[in-house]
Amino acid sequence: MSRENHPDDAMRTVCARFGATFAGCDMRLKVGISRNVREGVRPIHGIRLEPEGDTCGWYLWAGEFRDDLDFFVPLHAAHLHQWAPLVVPYLGLAPGWRFLITETYEDVWLDPQPPF
């Protein structure tokens, strides 16, 4: 991958736009993601918790949140380029940050009390 197209560049740009510290995202680690993200359901929600074990801390879902035990499935972050490339630029946001996006809408904020 050439340096001009490196995912960290897009992540740093998003962090700079929102005054967020760049925390990076090891794309070899896992996210928790709802299956409907891959199906193109919008909007996409993202929240980053503290990384733990082999996860990078990101939880991503589309549409309405459900608390079903199997709502989130593990996925290596590297596969997000196929599942939902739209989210990749936001992955550098630090724990505590959230986003709500579609192809034409964007809301990014620091949430002092995550919902889960």
Q: Read off the pTM.
A: 0.91
**Is 83 inside a domain boundary?**
yes
Query: How many CB atoms sit inside 10 A of residue 52's CB?
Result: 9
**Is 90 inside a domain boundary?**
yes
CB distance 37 to 59 below 8 Å: no
The predicted-structure confidence for 76-113, as pLDDT tens digits, reads as follows 999 999 999 999 999 999 999 999 999 999 999 999 88
Domain that residue 31 falls in: 3-110
> What is the tally of structural domains in the chain?
1
**Is 116 inside a domain boundary?**
no
The answer on pLDDT for 2 being more than 80 is no
CA atoms within 13 Å, Cβ hemisphere of 103:
4
Query: How many CB atoms sit inside 10 A of residue 90's CB?
Result: 25
**Is 115 inside a domain boundary?**
no
**Is 71 inside a domain boundary?**
yes
